[in-house]
Structure 1
């Protein structure tokens, strides 16, 4: 309740300040001081101004009470519902724009209309000796005064609502564990705000001066119609030039502010999409500090991203090494399969993240063997059908193990290769009997690399075959057991490089 009371007091002070500056000071001191009328007529005009001002205040206060009703309800409620807080939060953001509507409407309806009617009546009855033309000038002046008052109220209200916004957000967090955010929604765009502000600031004094001068000249000299026409031609030219300069200044100012904002907004979208790109610092004002701070944040994110990537890479590698360590005869198998797979992927045109995902899939392709008993996995004699089924279950076991790692979406790129690396191109593989390109890409590549390393590795029950013999078997199985394209790429590469290059791969003794 204290916050609500403080907000009301601030709004009342703001209104009085704006009214004094825009209505009383400008209206009475500039316009009225230019008139050559008697003291009694001045007094009568002042009464009209005060009565109109009172009507305007009544209309405006009633509109203001209606506008702050959602805010008052949320601030005075002991435990407001989430919907009430959200409505008040959004409504508070609209208050500056509503303040402009609150000022302009009552000025026209509460000030201009009653003042014009009362002044017309006094001129007609002879209580005030003024030309009817002055009524037109008075209405034009009232429009300018209303615009200036609305401008002042807009910026003062924008400052006054900040404590309310913080309060609604904090209470939503405290009571409902929900954090309010506009999510980039713009209630008042910068371009019209700057354009209107600069136009008013630039043209307001000119128009008032021209109007006051016209009244003063007419009261002093009784100028002829021809001279007055010349005056208005001159005044119109001055006003046109002033408006033109104000428009150009407003456009240039808006452009200079919008450009860095748009650059930072695009950069933030890049960060949201995972692209940690810095912003080119091309500014010599305070925006340079903002860009420098943004780039500092990006560099920090890049450093943490690099650390996370290194940690994840070492995690995958350590897991693969730990898996291979169960069997001294297959030590380094996962690392070698990963390196073979990367070679095939590069030859097939994979790059960047695609290649990294392939490497990690290959490192973990046999992780499901953790779930296979040692007595079956390391058996030297021929496996029974049941034992062979256990061996064949390791791709599915591996996929299930990876699915337990959070967040799920981070593991998703590796699941296809782990599950399908024992599928055959002719559809006779396991666990799903997939055929051709229905087999995931990583599975088809890893299958070639895995088969070659398995054939050339020593086992307790057999010695690994030589390089040429393994390549010959791969050649025979192209299009049946293995994807013809990837097997062909592997054969072309290792058929040229020979066995000596293979000996230097990680995990392989020289």
Structure 2
């Protein structure tokens, strides 16, 4: 029942869509062909009353021919759209219908300028030429060429009107296809950043058509009228009219170009800012506009502010999550309480002293907080043993970097944890290659691992253990200094040692 109701609603939207297309076409036809045929032609041509009937017959035959051609091409253009509303339409059929609906405004322009124009003009020209030959019409034969040009101008005006009317008419149909794809296939249909017709040619062509076609049409009508009234005046007519048309075209082009640039500028800035956001950089747009774009930019900046607030909250929550994990890990052993937090602070300090970015410092801190997370997988009898460890027990302890990496690999989203893995796995590697778990040496060891190794060693040496008291900071720093280039990275160890020695008076001594 629900499916039947959905199909009925889709068909209702489709019927409304067809009705709008037909209405738009008739509006364009009435505003162009019939208005020109009824208002301009009689006022321009001085012909016998009987000839009007023959011209009306020509117009009627041409309209029938045009209607037949329109119907053929229109059905061809909406065929895939009609297939898209069928109850059993597949995703590919829906996608084709969606794309075809987007193309419909351009197809409308093609239909009016080619089959519409040719199916109207060719019968009209042939019938008029025959009637002139038979003496049924008496006006000059040159008027046929003028009429052909006039018909082309009128078709251009009609195509421009129908383009924008069709652009508005297709929107409900596009929304319906998107809803169908989402409901039936859980897929979102979109244009994939594909622009069928960009703003620049749309505005330039429309502006030129609006500014020049009526003037050209007037010039043709004036040409006929002046030729009938005053032959002498007519001799210099096209030199004068051509100058006016040239000035008008230049003015219209510049105006359309300036309007286009005025609209493209904020759109381009918003698009660039959205790309920045897509790359993870929250960027606001300078609001220097005094039209509706000012509201749009203000709304965009409000959205960015909300995203910044949300990101701060998410970052704070994530940091709290890491700290909670570190504290929970350290709580297993009262002698290592606070170890992960201190290692994180020391590691972050090394990164800051080396001029690393805020993003890199955040990764260093998180990785250092979780560097011993693998110890969760080690039994208490081994981890909390107060005496000397056996070789087998020490091998279990040495497995904690790999265990930690495997634990973090199970956490979603994986892309958040991925930058932390090198530090967790490699913080017990030695610069001389004698560390574990991979026996890496020198620059082979990830930067995170080399930084955390220095911080971890310093905190381990200065902290109390069941089997020994913590060393004095000065002694631990001397050991780090002596081990530069062998156990620890020479650069990171030196930076840390030099900085901490300057702080020695404020560092609590062993036994204090």
TM bucket, shorter chain: over 0.9
TM-score by length of 2: 0.95
Q: CA deviation at 1:509?
A: 11
Q: 2: distance between equivalents of 1:274 and 1:451?
A: 35
Aligned-partner Cα distance in 2 for 1:312–1:502: 30
- Name which of 456, 463, 466 aligns with 2:462: 456
> How many residues are aligned here?
502
Give matches, 1:427-442, under 5 Å. Answer: 427-442=433-448
Aligned to 2:5: none
Q: Are 1:181 and 2:187 matched, yes or no?
A: no
Shift of 1:503: 4.0
Deviations 1:58-104 (A, max 9, x none): 111100011110111122x2221111111101110000010000111
Q: How does 1:341-380 map to 2 (within 5 A)?
A: 341-380=347-386
1:350-429 equivalences under 5 Å are: 350-429=356-435
Once residues 348 and 270 of structure 1 are traced to their aligned partners in structure 2, the CA distance between those partners, rounded to angstroms, is 27
Instruction: Confirm whether residue 26 of structure 1 aligns to residue 32 of structure 2.
Output: no
Q: Work out which of the residue numbers 133, 158, 166 in structure 2 matches 1:149.
A: 158
Q: Which residue of 2 aligns with 1:489?
A: 495
Q: Distance in 2 between matches of 1:263 and 1:460?
A: 62
1:138 to 117, 128, 147: 147
| 1:266 shift after superposition | 0.8
Retained in 2: the 8 A contact 1:27–1:145?
A: no
Could you tell me how far apart the structure 1 residues matched to 2:508 and 2:213 are?
85
| Contact kept? 1:107, 1:142, Cα under 8 Å | no
1:103 is the counterpart of 2:109: no
- Segments of 5+ residues of structure 2 without an aligned counterpart are 1-10
Question: Contact 1:361–1:414 at 8 Å: present in 2 too?
Answer: yes
1:22 and 1:31 map into 2 onto residues whose CA distance is 12
Secondary structure, aligned partner of 1:68:
helix
- Unpaired segments ≥5 residues, structure 1: none
2:48 corresponds in structure 1 to 38
Could you tell me how far 1:234 is from its partner in structure 2? 1.2
Deviation of the 1:49 alpha carbon: 1.6
Asked whether the equivalents of residues 36 and 220 of structure 1 are also in contact (C-alpha less than 8 Å), the reply is no
1:269-322 residue CA offsets vs partner (Å, 9 max, x unmatched): 111111111111111111111111111111111110010011111111222122
Which one of the candidate residues 304, 309, 320 is aligned to 2:310?
304
Q: Secondary structure of the equivalent of 1:473?
A: helix
1:111 deviates by 1.4
2:172 to 163, 169, 189: 163
State the partner residue of 2:4. none
Partner of 1:199: 208
Equivalent in the alignment of 1:213 = 222
Moved over 4 A (4+): none
CA contact (8 A) 1:361 1:418 kept: yes
Seen in structure 2, the aligned counterparts of structure 1 residues 137 and 451 have a Cα distance that, compared at 3 Å, is same
- 1:205 and 1:262 map into 2 onto residues whose CA distance is 33
> In 1, are the aligned partners of 2:216 and 2:245 still within 8 Å (CA)?
yes
Please give the alpha-carbon distance, in whole angstroms, between the structure 2 residues aligned to 1:405 and 1:208.
Answer: 71
Using the TM superposition, give the Cα deviation of residue 5 of structure 1 relative to its aligned residue in structure 2, in angstroms. Answer: 2.6
More deviation in 327-336 or 432-441? 327-336
Is the 2:473–2:507 contact (alpha carbons within 8 Å) kept by the matching residues of 1? no
CA distance in 1: counterparts of 2:20 and 2:331, whole angstroms: 73
Equivalent residue number for residue 66 of structure 1: 76
Q: How does 1:206-245 map to 2 (within 5 A)?
A: 206-221=215-230, 223-224=231-232, 227-245=233-251
CA offset at residue 244 of structure 1? 1.5
Contact 1:56 1:110 in 2 (8 A): yes
Deviation per residue, 1:152-174 (Å, 9 max, x gap): 11111111111211111111111
Which residue number in structure 2 is paired with residue 17 of structure 1? 27
Partner SS, residue 236 of structure 2: helix
Distance 1:380 1:13 in 2: 90
Please give the per-residue CA displacement for 1:413-463, whole angstroms capped at 9, x wherever unaligned.
111101100011111111111111111100001101111111111111111
Structure-2 change in CA distance of 1:119 and 1:319 (3 Å): same
TM-score of the two chains, using structure 1 as the length reference: 0.95
Aligned-partner Cα distance in 1 for 2:59–2:363: 77
In structure 1, C-alpha distance between the alignment counterparts of 2:498 and 2:42, rounded to whole Å: 97
TM-aligned CA deviation for residue 33 of structure 1 = 2.1
Distance 1:83 1:501 in 2: 71
CA spacing shift, 1:10–1:53, aligned 2, 3 Å: same
Instruction: Give the drift of 1:184.
Output: 2.2
User: CA 1:275–1:509 in 2, change beyond 3 Å: closer, same or farther?
Assistant: farther
Residue aligning to 2:256 = 250
Compared with structure 1, are the counterparts of its residues 443 and 308 closer, same or farther at alpha carbon in structure 2 (3 Å cutoff)? same
C-alpha separation between the residues in 2 aligned to 1:182 and 1:60? Answer: 28
Deviation at 1:397, TM superposition (A): 1.1
Alpha-carbon distance in structure 2 between the residues aligned to 1:503 and 1:22: 92
Distance 1:439 1:13 in 2: 72
For 2:8, the equivalent position in structure 1 comes to none
Pair 503,28 (structure 1): closer, same or farther in 2 beyond 3 Å: farther
